Homo-oligomer: A and B are copies of this chain.
């Protein structure tokens, strides 16, 4: 592609071909992520609005500022179909172990679903979640917001065009200081029954899934290790390292930690050059794309897009145009399988074939 097209079209939604329509969303799970990231993003979106809040804590829609919320109901009322005329689809952002239950309720009501990643606490439950949606004939998208970020999509364009030659290796990492922003030591991510894994599962999924998206390839082997040092992380993984073998001999190596500064990157090295996605995984940070070919570098900064807004609009656009979302249930199950393999390798000390 020409440099003019590349720069001029950097932030364009390559998936959008329709301008009108609205999808009304019920937010299932009203934790800080939904309140501080999802709802504000939807307020600025083109195709979505938040009409219903489902939670165990909010009973009055006026409690949620900055929305046109019509109803605030609890999980039982949601399962019973209360207010189901007021929304078209649901966003599931509860603790991982509750995804299946809420998706089941939504599917029974014929509502399409966008479900946070990781899909569930095990590949078995993730597969069941997919099957539930298939049986009910509702659309299921897994909320991989990095896939609709312009930097990620343009990086994939460059890879497909061979700008860095054939990909050889990928380096990825993501770290944050989880204890500084969750609600104390009883937070659900620290409970393996609710989370299915604390760090590899929660943030290891970012470099893994983004690599799959960029390379358009899936992992065929996995190894890794998990460990913990802080008492708050006793019995769960505070840190994890991973190595995924991909088709065509490509390797992804990296590590993640919930006890470090906020940092994220993904570097793809090829036979002719490299791409570096800088800060790709945190929604509020300025992302950059470094492109290098034959030793010459270009760093692309761009008019940032709200990752959550892009994601919700993509989901709604899929529903409005009767299109299957790219990150579907099967796509999500594969991540869970690969992450389970890392946990297995961490326990046995042995590589796992996928």
Contact call A261/B271, Cβ cutoff below 8 A:
yes
The reply to whether the CB of A253 lies closer than 8 angstroms to some CB of chain B is yes
Most chain B CB atoms below 10 A, which of A165, A227, A243, A292: A243
Contacts of A203 in B (CB 8 A): none
Assuming the contacts A261-B270, A263-B269, asked whether A239 and B175 have C-beta atoms less than 8 A apart, the reply is no
- Once bound together, how far apart are the Cα atoms of A273 and B261, in whole Å? 6
**Contact among B164, B249, B294, B351 for A239, CB-based, below 8 A:** B249
Contact residues of A: prevailing secondary structure:
strand
Contact call A260/B271, Cβ cutoff below 8 A:
yes
- Once bound together, how far apart are the Cα atoms of A171 and B249, in whole Å? 20
The reply to whether the CB of A96 lies closer than 8 angstroms to some CB of chain B is no
27 A-B pairs (CB sep. < 8 Å): A164-B261, A165-B261, A168-B257, A168-B260, A169-B173, A169-B175, A169-B241, A169-B255, A169-B260, A171-B171, A171-B254, A171-B255, A171-B265, A173-B267, A223-B243, A223-B349, A225-B245, A227-B249, A239-B251, A253-B255, A257-B269, A261-B271, A261-B272, A261-B292, A263-B274, A265-B267, A349-B350
- The residues of A with any CB-CB pair to B shorter than 8 Å are 164-165, 168-169, 171, 173, 175, 177, 223-225, 227, 229, 239, 241-243, 245, 249, 251, 253-255, 257, 259-263, 265, 267, 269-274, 292, 294-295, 349-351
